[in-house]
Structures are given as structure tokens and as C-alpha cells.
Amino acid sequence: MSVDLAQLVTSIAQRARAASLILATASTAQKNAALLKLAEVIPAAEPALMAANAKDLAAAKENRLTGAQIDRLTLNKKRLELLAESVRQVAALPDPVGEVLEETTRPNGLRIRKLRVPIGVIGIIYEARPNVTIDCAILCLKSGNASILRGGKEIYHTNTAFAELLARALTHAGLPADAVQLIPTTDRAALNTLLKLDTLVHCIIPRGGESLIRFVAENSTIPVIKHYQGVCFVYLDAAADAAIAEAVTLNAKTSRVSVCNAAEQLLVHQAVAKTLLPQVARALRAKNVELRCDAAAAAILEGEKIPHTSATEADYKAEFLDYIMAVRVVDSVDTAIATINRDGSAHSDAIITKDETVARRFFAGVDSATVFWNASTRFNDGFEFGFGAEIGISTDRLHARGPMGLRELCSYKYVIEGNGQVRV
């Protein structure tokens, strides 16, 4: 790599670190002023944003991206308005910084308070969705963190135009423009440099496909918060309510198949498989869900003449992100729990049952970020939790697990008041 590129990235990180110290003590009013200015300039800058976006779209067509991929890259008036609205919503959220998390006075008179503070400098590594640039920048800003954004090359010109607006909004509010910076190159070497700057950058959040996340996790010496896949289960217990079983399974599988909290795996207790599975399977088939079954489930569906296929071993651990569901019959809630812990991704798993004892056993035994009783896995989401916004759904167990909102973008510090205490 050229020395210049390493110097450039290091300089960005140094300026981000300096800006983070100012941002950490900025008032809520000042941070909100920057956000509201941004919400104002995004629609106003429509011509410049569209011109930049047009360059990315032209390159995308030249590189023969698919229609769906090009659609994701595309800005239009409506999308800009939605983006501005999301910025206003984040401005309206409570400021997480400064909250007293705990307070105690020790026998020696020391008063210990644990305060929520920003993490510091957060690096966001993402792919080709332009809204991620704004989403991540505003969540980091509101939580008092400086951010370094490194988006995909497919959206480089659009991101550069957004970065200019962010700098303008920060400056307007009297905050350092360096509080949000874009890596001005998509050279992979720049990313490699960034991932080693562990004295300047405190956290890396990769947003995107598994190979991107894995690359970041394997190459970063900075702590990474990962957002891996969701291999989510719905377990229909012996004491399941049939109507809830059908409604929740259908919603968990088909309300949006491409997201991490969509269900991929169905387990049915053998005591009710003969009656309940056909009902649920018919509902899934009506939405064109392919059912990949184990022998027991296949025999039941065969008898009912419900179309299905045979599952492979790989299907039982698959994140299909499609109208496909693997189906197995299990002999007990304990087998269901063991199956989920073995084959799932500890993301979002649900039990349908009327039996509270069984539900409590499932809650305790399933080692996942979020466990549901009689509700859809699709509710594992920062907005649905009432966080007001989310930067993703963490699959890690340290720091943040499940939906990450503004509070999860914070660390804490202890401040201790004494009157001359010394340790004996």
C-alpha cells in the first residue's frame, strides 16, 4: 500500500479522535441543531444528490448490476424525504449521554456514580445502501460518537455528496466537521489500515453480508460488534393454540423473507404434528413457501397431499432469506431447545404454547438474544422494542446483544467524589 493512503486514513482517525472528545461534551441542543439542519439540507440538496447518484447508477449499469441491486442504490425525491424524516425522528429521541446508571456511597464516604458516555470513535463498514451513510452518521452523532464511514464503491459518489451535507450541518451547529468522516477511497488497503488503528478507533460495526463481517472480524484489532445471520426457529409445542401457531408461523416466515429476524426453521411437537402441521403447512403453501421436511413431517404432509420436498442436513442450519422453510417433528420441548441451540444462530426463536411451564423452560433453555412466547420472531427489532431507531441487531454476546439503539452505542465511566480518601 502507498504510504500516502496509510497516512490519509491515520489522519482521518486522528481527527475523528479529536472531534470525539468535543462531541462527548456537546449539549443535546447542539447535537439536535446539527441533526435538524441535516434534515433541512437533505431535501434542499436534491439536485446535487441526484447528480452524484446518477454517476453511481451509470457505473452500476455499466457493471451490469441486477435490477434489484440498482434499485437499492437509487435515490429519488420520496426516498430523500423519508431520509430527512428519519433524521428528525432521531433528533426527537432522548439523549442517552450523561444518564446516571448507578449511584452508590461506600462506607468510606466515596460517592461512586456510573454515567453513560459515548464510546468514542466508531468505524462503520458497509456496502451499497446510501441510507446507511445517513442512518449510521446520525445515530453516532446523537450518541456523542465520532464516526468514520467506509461504504461500498458502488455508492461512492452518493456517499461523498451526503458527507458534504453532514459536514455542513455539523459546522452550522458549531460542532467539528471531523465528527463524521467518509474514507475517501474504496481501496481495500485503506480498510486494512483503519482496522488496525486501535489506539484511535474504539469500535467497528460492519453492516452487510457475512463475508464482509467475517473479513472485518478477522482483520480488526479494534473490538467489532457483529451482526451475523439469523437462523430463526418457530417451535409449535404440544399445547400450542392452533390459530396462534398458524398466524405466527406465517408472519415469522413470510412478512418479509429477506431479513435476519424472519423464521427459517419450523419444529413441531409429535403429539400435535398430525393435526397442526397440515393446517400451518397449508397456510405457508398458500404463500408459496417451499417446505423442506424431515421424514416424519414428510409422511404427514404426504398423507394430506400437501406439496413438500425432502430436507438435506444443510437445510436444517440454513438462513434461506427466501420462501423456503425447513420442517422437523420433535419429541419434546427439550429436544426443541437442544435443536435450536445446536442448529440455530442464537438470534430470534419462538415457542407457541398455552403451557406456561413449558414456555418458561423454553425461555431459560434457548440460548438466544431474543426468545418469544406466542409472538412472531419479526418483532426482534429496535423500532418494535421502542428504541426509536437501531443500527442493527447484534449477534454478539458482549456489550450489545439483539437490537442496538442509541444506548447500545454508548459506554460508561465512573466518576467518584471524595474528600481526601486514601487507600490503606
Beta carbon of residue 276, minimum distance to a second copy (angstroms, whole number):
15
Secondary structure of residue 214 in the 3-state scheme: helix
Burial class (CB in 10 A: 0-12, 13-18, 19+), 311: buried
Beta carbon of residue 409, minimum distance to a second copy (angstroms, whole number):
10
In the bound state with a second copy, the residue whose beta carbon lies nearer, of 43 and 365, is 365
In the bound state with a second copy, the residue whose beta carbon lies nearer, of 198 and 302, is 198
CA distance 349 to 233: 5
Beta carbon of residue 372, minimum distance to a second copy (angstroms, whole number):
5
In the bound state with a second copy, the residue whose beta carbon lies nearer, of 248 and 406, is 248
Beta carbon of residue 164, minimum distance to a second copy (angstroms, whole number):
29
Beta carbon of residue 140, minimum distance to a second copy (angstroms, whole number):
14
Beta carbon of residue 58, minimum distance to a second copy (angstroms, whole number):
37
Beta carbon of residue 34, minimum distance to a second copy (angstroms, whole number):
19
Crossing angle of helices 46-62 and 28-44, rounded to 10°: 70
Whether 329 and 344 have beta carbons less than 8 Å apart is answered as no
In the bound state with a second copy, the residue whose beta carbon lies nearer, of 45 and 222, is 222
Whether 52 and 217 have beta carbons less than 8 Å apart is answered as no
Contacts of 11 (CB under 8 A, 6+ apart): none
In the bound state with a second copy, the residue whose beta carbon lies nearer, of 37 and 378, is 378
Beta carbon of residue 362, minimum distance to a second copy (angstroms, whole number):
9
In the bound state with a second copy, the residue whose beta carbon lies nearer, of 9 and 404, is 404
CA distance 13 to 194: 8
Distances in whole angstroms, Cα of residue 393 to Cα of each of 210, 348, 371, 382, 411:
14, 10, 14, 8, 17
In the bound state with a second copy, the residue whose beta carbon lies nearer, of 359 and 391, is 359
Beta carbon of residue 368, minimum distance to a second copy (angstroms, whole number):
7
Distances in whole angstroms, Cα of residue 319 to Cα of each of 58, 128, 277, 288:
32, 21, 21, 17
In the bound state with a second copy, the residue whose beta carbon lies nearer, of 104 and 288, is 104
Secondary structure of residue 346 in the 3-state scheme: coil
Whether 405 and 387 have beta carbons less than 8 Å apart is answered as yes
Gyration radius from the chain CA atoms: 24
Q: Backbone phi, then psi, for 344, in 5-degree steps?
A: -85, -175
- Half-sphere exposure for 258 (CA within 13 Å, toward CB): 3
Cα dihedral 13→164→162→76 (10° resolution): -170
Distances in whole angstroms, Cα of residue 424 to Cα of each of 32, 104, 421:
47, 20, 9
In the bound state with a second copy, the residue whose beta carbon lies nearer, of 1 and 243, is 243
Chain positions contacting a second copy, by CB under 8 A: 21, 24-25, 104, 106, 110, 112, 117, 119-120, 198, 202-203, 217-218, 221, 223-225, 241, 243-244, 247-248, 250-252, 255, 341, 359, 363-365, 367-376, 378-380, 384-386, 396-399, 401-402, 411-424
Angle CA 260–123–213, to nearest 5: 40
